[in-house]
Amino acid sequence: MRASAARPSRRRVGRLVASLLVAATAFVAQPPLQAEYADVVINNRSEKEGVRPVIFPHWFHRVRFRCKVCHFELGFKMRAGGNDIRMNDISNGRFCGVCHNGDLAWGAERCDLCHSGKPGLTTGIRGGHETMGPGRY
Ligand code: HEC
Ligand code: HEC
Ligand code: HEC
């Protein structure tokens, strides 16, 4: 009797905890961490494939677009180097190529504007409370 009465309420508690966790995750995702300012270096493949590391000026972009445009609608995971971005995808209008298509922003043929990092730079966040932009590292 006791046990069967306790079960549904435990389930309710479980559901409550689950929704609190969802809320907490949403909250944690909200405040901009280091990337609100600064730049993201992406060098998962670039140098191995013979081009310079990519500098993505996060601050420059985030003042122009809402977080959700990139981190929800375009599906960029919020982790430096955490996306498996291929040049082919960009040229086919995915990831950076959603905007860098010669229409909304300059196109994928401007290699040096994205592959602007100095050789040897590793993937991660660089810079402080301002963007340094392409070619500064
Ligand atoms: C124009 C697209 C764009 C916009 C807008 C944008 N981001 Fe990002 N963000 C990125 C990309 C790209 C990365 C790096 C992903 C990678 O390296 O694969 C990134 C990385 C991050 C990271 C990871 C930092 C780390 O330490 O690894 C966080 C946190 C983040 N963004 C938060 C935000 C927040 C908060 C906003 C809004 C204020 C925002 N972003 C707006 C594209 C964007
Ligand atoms: C809008 C920004 C942007 C432009 C412009 C751009 N790239 Fe990329 N490229 C990237 C990003 C981001 C990656 C993923 C970086 C990584 O994982 O190291 C990448 C990856 C690459 C890679 C690694 C291998 C692969 O296939 O993914 C090569 C090679 C490459 N780009 C060559 C080029 C060349 C050549 C041009 C000019 C014709 C160019 N890129 C223009 C952003 C750009
Ligand atoms: C939501 C649209 C959007 C996405 C996604 C996007 N960009 Fe951009 N980006 C822009 C716009 C708009 C500009 C400004 C273009 C101009 O000034 O003509 C820009 C400018 C830049 C600049 C030049 C910044 C400066 O200081 O002038 C770089 C470098 C750049 N983007 C790299 C990237 C890379 C790398 C990615 C993918 C990781 C990316 N962008 C994804 C819209 C986007």
- At residue 129, does pLDDT exceed 50? yes
Task: Give the pLDDT mean for 54-63.
Answer: 92
Measured torsion, CA atoms of residues 97, 101, 105, 107, in degrees rounded to the nearest 10: 100
Q: Where are the beta strands (DSSP E) in 14-127?
A: 39-42, 54-56, 124-126
pLDDT band at 88 (very low <50, low <70, confident <90, very high): very high
Using the Cα atoms of residue 8, residue 10, residue 11 and residue 13 in order, give the sign of their dihedral: positive
More confident of the two residues 92 and 59: 92
What span, in angstroms and rounded, lies between the C-alpha atoms of 59 and 128? 10
Residue 105: what residue type? A
Whether the CB of 59 sits within 6 Å of ligand 3? no
- At residue 59, does pLDDT exceed 80? yes
CATH class belonging to 34-126: alpha beta
pLDDT in tens, 96-126: 999 999 999 999 999 999 999 999 999 999 8
Give me the pLDDT at residue 131, please: 59
Whether the CB of 76 sits within 6 Å of ligand 1? yes
Whether the CB of 121 sits within 6 Å of ligand 2? no
Whether the CB of 98 sits within 6 Å of ligand 2? no
Alpha carbon of 14 to ligand 2 centroid (Å): 45
How far is C-alpha 120 from the geometric centre of its chain's CA atoms?
21
The pTM (predicted TM-score) of the whole model is: 0.86
Alpha carbon of 24 to ligand 2 centroid (Å): 35
Partners of 105 in the β-ladder: 100
Domain positions in the chain are 1-31, 34-126
C-alpha dist (Å) from residue 125 to 62, 89, 100, 102:
15, 23, 22, 27
Alpha carbon of 65 to ligand 2 centroid (Å): 22
Give me the pLDDT at residue 38, please: 87
